[in-house]
A = this chain, B = another copy of it.
Amino acid sequence: MAEIDTASFVPSLAIDCVVFGFHENELKVLLLKLTGVDVWALPGGFVDKNKDLEKAAIDTLEVRTGLTDIFLRQFHTFGSIARNDPNHPKFLIDKGLISEDLFDWFNQRFVTIGFYALVEYSQVKEPVPGPISEACEWCSVNDLPPLMLDHQEIVEKAHKALKRELSYQPIGLNLLPNQFTMSELQALYETILETQLDRRNFRRKILSYGILKDTKKFRTGVAHKAPALYEFDVSAYKKASQAGLNMGW
């Protein structure tokens, strides 16, 4: 059962992180399974009184994934009064997840600041559960388990934000391994955008951005023709990120 020192936290405020990973052509999010019940939650937490919001999110992510230096972006703050289910604190206590004297703390109205993070799936060796959870796993965004409170909505909004981001920013540096094939990059785009793209046109367009470096190496040991391996030209990538890609005006 979780014992936390609520006095050190900013009241009413929480953060939630939607951690995206990409594996087997699926967009995944990291979720925590609450101990003893089939309810899942986003990694997140309260905000220490003398900690920046960003830092609170970064620290949460480090604990769960072991990763530092993660791509992180604040995308929305969720503050509807409806999101505070009055039965929630009772539920947590009944299930033995928190002690009874935390009732008041959990019974507050919380406003949560949503961040999304992009991480390289394979880099996260063993996601670690928290004090009130028994598992931390990757789940496909298209097949989410039952989520706590409004966490489903938070995931959806994060995905939407990511989609939008994609249309004027290069994406991939934080989601793919160092070297990758053109097909893998395309699959990432298709997965995030939930649409199909023409293979040849995709190649042409992405190459035109000048953010890819041909490594002159090939992926071996795979079926069919060995595809070329690319990596991102980090400085060009960052420059393109700054400038924005498809600005309309």
Query: Using a CB-CB cutoff of 8 Å, which residues 107-133 of chain A contact chain B?
Result: 109, 111, 113
A97 to chain B, nearest CB (A): 25
For residue A249, which residues in chain B have a CB less than 8 angstroms away from its CB? 166-167, 189, 193, 195, 197
The yes or no answer to A25 lying at the interface (CB within 8 A) is no
Query: Using a CB-CB cutoff of 8 Å, which residues 84-120 of chain A contact chain B?
Result: 109, 111, 113
A: contact size bracket: 35 or more
What's the number of copies of this chain in the assembled complex?
Answer: 2
Query: Using a CB-CB cutoff of 8 Å, which residues 189-220 of chain A contact chain B?
Result: 189, 193, 195, 197
A163 to chain B, nearest CB (A): 9
For residue A152, which residues in chain B have a CB less than 8 angstroms away from its CB? none
| Residue interface mask A54-88, B partner, CB < 8 A = 1 | 10000000000000000000101101111000000
Seed contacts A168-B248, A193-B249; 7 additional CB < 8 Å A-B pairs: A10-B111, A52-B82, A53-B77, A54-B80, A166-B248, A167-B247, A245-B248
A residues contacting B by CB (< 8 A) are 10-13, 47, 49-54, 74, 76-77, 79-82, 109, 111, 113, 164, 166-168, 189, 193, 195, 197, 244-249
Q: List 20 A-B contacts (CB under 8 A).
A: A10-B12, A10-B109, A12-B13, A13-B13, A13-B79, A13-B111, A47-B111, A51-B81, A52-B80, A52-B81, A53-B77, A53-B80, A77-B113, A79-B113, A111-B113, A164-B244, A168-B168, A168-B248, A195-B249, A246-B247
